[in-house]
């Protein structure tokens, strides 16, 4: 993919991406590192061509396989919660999908690992990240509930799928002082962003905004 395709034209142009970043700022995203990362990553290359013109809208979009790419605000918000007052360090993403969020994380950390349970989606993510020249992001076809024990511990873990509880394997793979953020199912279909911090005295949880994510499922396919 050439530089013109990465830069985009029309509704996928750098100017449109800049408007997205300004909208994120107006929505309350303040960390300049997060805003810069969101502006760097060409979201349109992570979507099917028919949807590329909608890439910088603040909405989730379909990826196929009953999966979606998260809306830009939610991506920025979850990463801002994780990075507040520190660096991301070694990152694990559960639910790589098309690779977009991994790309944003990869502009903020030199150590990013991402797992995806759906093999065709993982293949797309590999291609997209190669096009975006983010070769340091390591992808694996795996059950996200199990984490990635061979690369643990992680300073930062982010889940792109919702569950009523944090998988125990992920808690055990957190480094001291580490942070995990995920969409937590609280009641029925209601979900919120949940931050879990590993402290000397145990795990501390803080709840944030309401969100809507696909469920965290077991196994691989």
Q: How confident is the model at residue 14 (pLDDT cuts 50, 70, 90)?
A: confident
pLDDT of amino acid 186: 94
pLDDT over threshold 80, residue 9: no
Distance CA 79, CA 68 (A): 18
Q: Which residues contact 201 (CB under 8 A, 6 or more apart)?
A: none
Residue 10 has pLDDT above 80, yes or no: no
How high does pLDDT run on average in the chain?
Answer: 94
pLDDT at 2: 44
Q: What token pair was written down for 169?
A: 């394997």
Task: Please report the pLDDT score of residue 137 as a whole number.
Answer: 97
pLDDT digits (tens, 9 = 90+) for 67-119: 999 999 999 999 999 999 999 999 999 999 999 999 999 999 999 999 999 99
Could you tell me which residues are beta bridge partners of residue 159?
Answer: 94
For position 111, what pLDDT does the model report? 97
The catalytically annotated residue of 3, 70, 172, 201 is 70
Q: What is the mean pLDDT of residues 157-167?
A: 96
Query: Mean per-residue pLDDT for 10-26?
Result: 89
**154-159, strands of its sheet edge to edge:** 137-141, 112-116, 91-94, 154-159, 174-187, 190-199, 202-211
* Domains in the chain, CATH or no CATH each: 59-211 (3.40.50.150)
- Mapping DSSP onto H, E and C, the string for 127-154 reads HHHHHCCCCCEEEEECCHHHCCHHHCCE
Does residue 1 surpass a pLDDT of 60? no
194 is catalytic: no
Q: What is the pLDDT of residue 92?
A: 98
Output the pLDDT for position 39: 96
173-218 pLDDT, tens per residue? 999 999 999 999 998 889 999 999 999 999 999 999 999 999 999 9
């Amino acid at each position: 993919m050439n530089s013109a395709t990465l830069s985009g034209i029309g509704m996928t142009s750098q100017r449109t991406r800049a408007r997205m970043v300004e909208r994120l700022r107006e929505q309350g995203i303040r960390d300049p590192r997060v805003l810069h990362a969101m502006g760097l990553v060409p979201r349109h290359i992570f979507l099917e061509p028919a949807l590329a013109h909608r890439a910088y809208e603040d909405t989730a979009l379909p990826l196929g396989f009953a999966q979606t790419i998260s809306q830009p605000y939610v991506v920025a918000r979850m990463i801002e919660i994780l990075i507040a007052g520190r660096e991301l360090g070694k990152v694990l993403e559960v639910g790589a999908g098309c690779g977009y969020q991994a790309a944003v994380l990869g502009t903020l950390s030199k150590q990013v690992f991402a797992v995806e349970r759906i093999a065709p989606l993982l293949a797309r993510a590999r291609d997209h990240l190669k096009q975006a020249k983010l070769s340091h992001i390591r992808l694996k076809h795996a059950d996200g509930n199990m984490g990635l024990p061979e690369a643990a511990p992680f300073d930062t873990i982010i889940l792109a799928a919702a569950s009523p509880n944090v998988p125990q394997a992920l808690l055990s793979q957190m480094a001291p002082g580490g942070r995990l953020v995920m969409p937590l199912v609280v009641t029925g279909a209601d979900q919120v962003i949940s931050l879990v911090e590993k402290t000397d005295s145990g795990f501390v949880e803080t709840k944030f905004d309401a969100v809507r994510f696909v469920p965290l499922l077991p196994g691989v396919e």
